[in-house]
Amino acid sequence: MGAWVPVPGDVAARYRDAGYWTDQTFPGLLDAAVQRFADRTAVIDTETRWSYRDLELATERVAAGLHGVGVRRGDRVVVQLPNVAAYVAVLFSCWRIGALPVFALPAHRDSELLHFCTVADAAALVTADRIAGYDHAALAQRVAARSARPPVLVLLAAPAVVAGPAPREPVVAPENLVPTHDLAAWLAGSVGPAPVATPSAPDEVAFLQLSGGTTGTPKLIPRTPQDYLYSVRESARICELTPDDVMLVALPAAHNFPMSSPGILGVVHAGGTVVLASDPAPTTCLPLIEAERVTVAALVPPLALLWLSSVGRPARPGRPRPDLSSLRLLQVGGAKLVAEAARRVESELGCRLQQVFGMAEGLVNYTRPEDDFDTVVDTQGRPISPADEVRVVDADGRDLPDGEAGELLTRGPYTIRGYYEAADHNATAFTADGFYRTGDLVVRRPSGHLTVVGRVKDQINRGGDKIASDEIENHLVAHPGVLDAAVVGVPDQFLGERSCAFVRPEPDGPLAGPLLVDPDGSADRAADRTAVERELRAFLRGRGLATYKIPDVIVLVAEFPGTGVGKVSRRELRQRLAADAAPAP
Ligand code: J2J
């Protein structure tokens, strides 16, 4: 099997005949916006305010820069940038020359970036010097030093607002540093003219999105212009976007939700304005809503809770409450929004709520403007397209009637048929006839609306950030003092879930101290435990794991329940441990 799995020819023909799939490409999307809305504001960040014409110029300049350092049609480019206007230009510049961006998140570290560069065989890595105080220039150098084929490094000098305190990360020895290229200089027009290049065709893979992951290594998701842009256009229509809309992007721009549901691309399609927030805190975002007259924003549930609590507090003397009257729609998705919070959005923020249940693999569900209040509060919406096929099945794969909880399987005009370069994993992640096994437990209503009620995949959804249990366990058992580990989600009022690692130390190993019987009670076992937890966290950070993957709680145990009696499957073990784990204090 090749690098990716296309939709079968007869199905593709059906999607084209139905008008779902068109010949639109990503450069075509930008061109159309430039032609219709040239002087309207396209993208705003703290230091930049670009019209569509400016965005086009920036795109041409970065395309010239990428081409100048050897990036060609079909090459992969890992992009890890904060929420800045340049990010949008970098994406369109890759598409302009037919290169495939790989959407890394700012939170990713050595482990993830090296993996993306390796699996995608990346020609270039585009990042910033620093993001939120972390030294991404050093990170990029470490990744290059460890890559079989080091990517060309392109760095954006960190804008003051996303920089932070001085970096303290391990650095690569000066003699091993690879030369870097200056993205800011490219944006200022240091290279040119833009190359003559052919963008990828509508039916070719145009970028690689990231999966939340359920296995040891995060999978890459190949998306084509014809499938992705169909979902973008329909999302813009469902959200009633117009050229007058101003969308606040507070989540990391690379995430599939703010990118495409309808996100940045939906706004470009509509000719509206994207406002990129440097961080999602209400103290940053609420004043930005007032200043830019933001009309739509997209959040994960914990942020929605923060915003609600922020507007619920009495205004401080001398600091008037930001005027949020421009905001017409708050989208919340990525994790389950509890109904109590959903109920408060409209009255407390003065805007409509839309629940969004999507996945980077494809299927996206929205509650609709015409849905009644209870449907908006109690469901996570219904699919975008009449051609989205949804099955709800029991553990044996048998279809269940509406109203019964089962696993959601889906297939459709913008859902992938397989991950990138992952034939083995694809054999279990998809059914033989091409349905994606989402791992989500849902209940369907006769109207097609879905309510997410749980999960059968070994993943933790930490307030929208996805963590594969298996990946963290593999890192933990690499520690010489760890015999075994199981990572589970435990309930958390704010995040929905937080991650808890149960760790069995090697009986005679360096971490066993806290578990030893202490006959005279003289040893301070609690202090020992704290020291071990600190050691394990530092160990995981040292292995270059993204910050959100470091377990919130580490529990040392002498053995796992049930494993003494006979073999217990890891899944069953995780379920038992999650059930045993005390909820957050
Ligand atoms: C419960 N679980 C949800 C929701 C996602 C739009 C919105 C979100 C994503 C996304 C996205 C949920 N309630 N409202 O790509 O375009 C969980 C499910 C799902 C997984 C996908 C988009 N919304 N989830 O979150 O690829 O478990 O995409 O399968 O990051 O998030 O995660 P991801």
Digitized pLDDT (tens) for each residue of the chain, 585 residues in all:
468 999 999 999 999 999 999 999 999 999 999 999 999 999 999 999 999 999 999 999 999 999 999 999 999 999 999 999 999 999 999 999 999 999 999 999 999 999 999 999 999 999 999 999 999 999 999 999 999 999 999 999 965 444 455 555 667 888 889 999 999 999 999 887 878 788 889 999 999 999 988 877 889 999 999 999 999 999 999 999 999 999 999 999 999 999 999 999 999 999 999 999 999 999 999 999 999 999 999 999 999 999 999 998 877 777 788 999 999 999 999 999 999 999 999 999 999 999 999 999 999 999 999 999 999 999 999 999 999 999 999 999 999 999 999 999 999 999 999 999 999 999 999 999 999 999 999 999 999 999 999 999 999 999 999 999 999 999 999 999 999 999 999 999 999 999 999 999 999 888 987 777 777 777 777 888 889 999 999 999 999 999 999 999 999 998 888 766 667 788 888 888 888 875 544
The pLDDT, as a whole number, for residue 163 is 46
Spelled out in words, what is the top-level CATH class assigned to the domain 53-200?
alpha beta
Provide DSSP, 460-494.
EEETTEEEEHHHHHHHHHTSTTEEEEEEEEEEETT
CA nearest to 364, candidates 400, 398, 412, 326: 412
Contact 459 CB / ligand 1 (< 6 Å):
no
User: What gap in Å lies between CA 159 and CA 178, rounded to an integer?
Assistant: 23
**Which atom of ligand 1 lies nearest, measured to the CA of 440?**
27
Residue with CA nearest ligand 1 atom 9: 358
**Closest ligand 1 atom to Cα of 381:** 14
Q: Whose CA is nearest to atom 28 of ligand 1?
A: 359
Ligand 1 atom with least separation from CA of 439: 29
Q: How far is the CA of 356 from the centre of ligand 1 (A)?
A: 8
pLDDT for the residue numbered 301: 98
| Overall residue count recorded for the chain in this entry | 585
Predicted pLDDT of residue 584: 46
Contact 445, 471 (CB under 8 A): no
C-alpha–C-alpha distance, residues 447 and 441, integer Å: 18
Name the closest-CA residue to atom 5, ligand 1.
334
- Give the SS3 label for residue 51: strand
Alpha carbons 242 and 475: distance in angstroms, whole number: 47
CA–centroid distance, residue 415 to ligand 1 (Å): 13
Query: How far does residue 367's CA lie from ligand 1's centre (Å)?
Result: 14
Distance in Å, CA 344 to ligand 1 centroid: 21
Q: Please identify which residue in the block is written with the tokens 């052919």.
A: 198
Q: DSSP H helical segments within 396-519, as ranges?
A: 423-429, 469-477
Atom number in ligand 1 closest to CA 355: 14
In the sheet that 76-80 helps form, which strands lie side by side, from edge to edge?
Answer: 180-182, 152-156, 124-128, 76-80, 100-103, 207-210, 220-223
Task: Say yes or no: CB of residue 359 within 6 Å of ligand 1.
Answer: yes
Q: Is 127 helix (H, G, I), strand (E, B) or coil?
A: strand
Cα(107) to ligand 1 centroid in Å equals 18
pLDDT of residue 289: 98
| Residues 80, 582: Cα–Cα separation, whole Å | 37
Residue to mutate, 359, 379, 441, 460, ligand 1, most ligand atoms under 8 Å from C-beta: 359
Cα of 438 to ligand 1 centre, how many Å?
Answer: 10
**For 459-580, CATH number?**
3.30.300.30
Which of 370, 436, 374, 375 is closest to 408 using CA atoms?
A: 436
**pLDDT, position 160:** 47
Q: How many Å apart are CA 219 and CA 316, to the nearest integer?
A: 47
Does ligand 1 lie within 6 Å of residue 381's CB atom? no
Strand partners, 440: 455
Q: Measured in angstroms, how far is the CA atom of residue 392 from the centroid of ligand 1?
A: 17
CATH superfamily for domain 230-455: ANL, N-terminal domain (3.40.50.12780)
Q: Is the CB of 282 under 6 A from ligand 1?
A: no
Residue 431: closest CA among 457, 389, 397, 395: 397
Interatomic CA distance for residues 85 and 308, integer angstroms? 28
The C-alpha atoms of residue 332 and residue 302 are separated, in whole angstroms, by 10
Nearest ligand 1 atom to the CA of 455 is 27
Q: Is the CB–ligand 1 distance for residue 360 below 6 Å?
A: yes
In contact, 273 and 43? CB cutoff 8 Å: yes
Are 53-200 and 230-455 in the same CATH fold? yes
User: How distant, in Å, are the alpha carbons of 24, 33, 267, 422 from that of 20?
Assistant: 11, 20, 19, 27
Q: Give 358's contacts (C-beta < 8 A, 6+ positions apart).
A: 256, 257, 261, 333, 334, 364, 365
Is the Cβ atom of 357 under 6 angstroms away from ligand 1?
Answer: yes
Q: In angstroms, what is the span from residue 366 Cα to ligand 1's centroid?
A: 11
Residue 85 CB less than 6 A away from ligand 1: no
The β-bridge relationship of strands 152-156 and 180-182 is parallel
**Could you give phi then psi for residue 501, rounded to 5 degrees?**
-105, 120
Pocket lining: 469 vs ligand 1, CB cutoff 6 Å? no
- pLDDT for the residue 88: 98
Out of 239, 357, 364, 378, mutate this one to test ligand 1's pocket (max ligand atoms within 8 Å of CB): namely 357
Question: In the chain, where are the structural domains located?
Answer: 53-200, 230-455, 459-580
Is ipTM over 0.85?
A: yes
Is the omega angle on the peptide bond into residue 287 within 30 degrees of 0, that is, cis?
A: no
For the chain, the first-to-last Cα distance in angstroms comes to 49
User: Ligand 1 pocket, 252 CB below 6 A?
Assistant: no
The atom of ligand 1 lying closest to the CA of 457 is 27
User: How much is the pLDDT for 510?
Assistant: 87
Atom of ligand 1 nearest to the CA of 211: 26
Q: What global pTM score does this model have?
A: 0.95
Which ligand 1 atom lies nearest to the CA of residue 261? 16
- Give the Å distance between the CA of 55 and the centre of ligand 1: 29
State the residue for tokens 């913008």: 414
